[in-house]
Chains A and B, each alone.
Chain A
Amino acid sequence: MSYFVDKRGYYGEFGGAFIPEMLYPNVKELEDNYLKIMHEPSFQKEFQELLKEYVGRPTPLYFVKRLSEKYNTKIYLKREDLCHTGAHKINNTIGQILVAQRLGKTRVIAETGAGQHGVATATVCALMGIECVVYMGEIDIARQAPNVARMKMLGAKVVPALSGSRTLKDATNEAIRDWINNPVNTHYIIGSVVGPHPYPDMVARFQSVISEEIKKQLLEKEHTENPDYVIACVGGGSNAAGSFYHYLDEENVKLIAVEAAGLGIHSGESAATSILGKEGVIHGSKTLLMQSKDGQITEPYSISAGLDYPGIGPLHAHLYKSKRAEFISITDAEAMKAGLELCELEGIIPAIESAHALAVFNMKKFKETDVVVLNLSGRGDKDLDTYVKYFKL
């Protein structure tokens, strides 16, 4: 079985490009060119240099001694939290801004939920001197004020999405509408492995630097490229796609995708898409998504703004259906506890998204000899307010 995208843009039965005709030329242009561009030596040179000098890659693969002792297994954290702007998101925006330039685009749009992808997009647009418009749900704008300020300082225009539930899915709708209205000069930088083909594949490739580095670093530390487990959280699934990418065909490496259960899977306030979702079409992709019986997309909930997306990328839907990855869901409470534990044991404040992945150690028993790599996708600075309120600090 292949876990990579096929020629038609599908992962098994998931994926494709379910887009209005108005978007066809834009998406076709991207589909026809993205691989060609990514394989150009001049592109690779610029991309690699920026990842090294600007983003600060490679990020460390850090053995967490005290956490390992506590759970009696060998745990490594892939420190994506140390990337410039505080999360893995910038790996993708650097790649896509270079693609946009080579396609001759002069304007960039993006959607954002918590604001991390918006900040990462605004950052690369500032770096390249390209006009940037970020769509963000009106409700998210209110609850993520620091990231809104960051985007503005970086020169981006932040436009509130006022439709529907006024959160991430609506921001994505607005970005797509903007692209329909501006089909010639604009590139849409999608922030996750979602959307119509070729986005899921393109974003996964840009994020695949994560597992590429893990392989090299683990070889040095453990004399093998392959850990027993790779763990990552999944909202849309870009950090998981990046950490799984070079292990997809290594069947002896077990993959664990961690979703947000919110207040509990059956509480009505959850974002555990693989369990609660059904096959459907969202934002141009056939995948698993949370929806009503009548096919209306429902609003997910998680304490972590980066995980409350009603769908998952088509790659992940395929990994779920084919059982290549194990899907575990973690509640708000379990994640918050695990986040605080990492602070206390290792002196690292994780993003609440990443804290969901950390909570797996309380759910699942690993062997003493297991080597477990967990992708720490982001740092917790943006979540201080939530931590403070939750723990009444």
Chain B
Amino acid sequence: MNRINKKLQENKKLLSIYFTAGFPKINDTVSIIENLEKSGVDFIEIGLPFSDPLADGPTIQASSTQALDNGMTSEVLFKQLKDIRKTVSIPLIIMGYFNPMMQFGIENFCKKCAEIGIDGLIIPDLPVDVYNDNYKSIFEKYGLINVFLITPQTSLERIQFIDKISEGFIYMVSSSSVTGAQNAFGKSQDDYFKRIADLNLKSPQIIGFGISNAETFKKATKYAKGAIIGSAFVKYLDENGTVNINKFVSGIID
């Protein structure tokens, strides 16, 4: 069984952390992952930086630009992660945009992920239908789970379609926004979280975008299986470097 599915069966609310690979320093990748696991994080999204990250706000954009300036590429990332499974056992997901993966070759990319022990991918600009028609069989061949997003605007029919083809969790975007856009959840988010929870989908939901602290984590996981923190952690790394990562995590889940 894929590590993601195993993790989703645990009887607890899950915390996932996103960071941009190659930021703040090119060789921080492995130590960030190891420290996150030690701090009690349940799974990790490793951001593969892209020059034009359409779905991201200023914080992740800036970290991506910095990471690219530092020399991060798909190839460098795979090299850094070569031995990651010797020290890390929680699920690892690569989140990145489609073009760099396409240039690496989708099959090649998936093969590398499988060799390393990556469990899944999140590719915001690879539409569900294109994946389903063209790439599903490759992902399956390498045992990779592709994670799809839904938003408050996603129609019921489409949510059901996405639920049907999802093999891990559904990434629930908390509001109509790019990443890092807000700090609190209002009534509309609450209504949306409840509406989705009431659908009793087969795939657990993990909420992302706009989760930045203990309060928003708690609100999000009231209805969902877990939550993802991205921009707030990237900001923390920017301000504090890679020391005391456990401090950040304990501020969320103590």
Contacts and interface: CB of A to CB of B under 8 A. Distances in A.
Contacts of B74: 294-295
B87 interface: no
A291 B150 CA distance: 30
Interface in B61-86: 61-62, 65, 68, 73-75
Contacts of A173: 52-54
Interface string A176-203: 1100111110000000000000000000
Contacts of B148: 21
A296 B75 CA distance: 13
A295 B125 contact: no
Interface string B45-59: 000001111110110
Nearest to B155: A25
Interface residues of A, number: 36
A21 B124 contact: yes
B31 to A, nearest CB: 23
Interface string B117-142: 00000001111101000000000000
A281 B61 contact: no
Nearest to B152: A183
B98 A297 contact: no
A296 B100 contact: yes
A25 B158 CA distance: 10
Interface string B145-185: 00011110111001000000000000001001110010000
Residues of B in contact with A, size category: 35 or more
Nearest to B55: A20
B104 interface: yes
B55 A180 contact: yes
Nearest to B71: A294
Contacts of A298: 51
Contacts of B103: 278, 280, 291, 293-295
Interface string A22-50: 10110000000000000000000000000
A24 B176 contact: no
Contact of A282 (B73, B99, B150): B99
B243 interface: no
A181 B51 contact: no
Interface stretch (A11-19, A103-111, A251-259): A11-19
A264 interface: no
B65 A180 contact: no
B66 to A, nearest CB: 12
Given A181-B176, A278-B103, A294-B103, A22 B153 contact: yes
Nearest to B58: A163
B196 interface: no
Contacts of B151: 21-22, 25, 183
A284 B52 contact: no
Nearest to A172: B52
Nearest to A22: B151
Given A183-B153, A281-B98, A18 B55 contact: no
Nearest to B49: A296
Contacts of B50: 295-296
A297 B52 contact: yes
A169 interface: yes
A295 B106 CA distance: 12
Query: Which of A25, A182, A283 has the most CB atoms of chain B within a 10 A radius of its CB?
Result: A25
A20 B125 contact: yes
B101 interface: yes
14 contacts: A17-B127, A19-B125, A19-B127, A20-B124, A21-B149, A21-B150, A22-B151, A22-B178, A24-B127, A163-B61, A164-B51, A173-B54, A180-B55, A282-B52
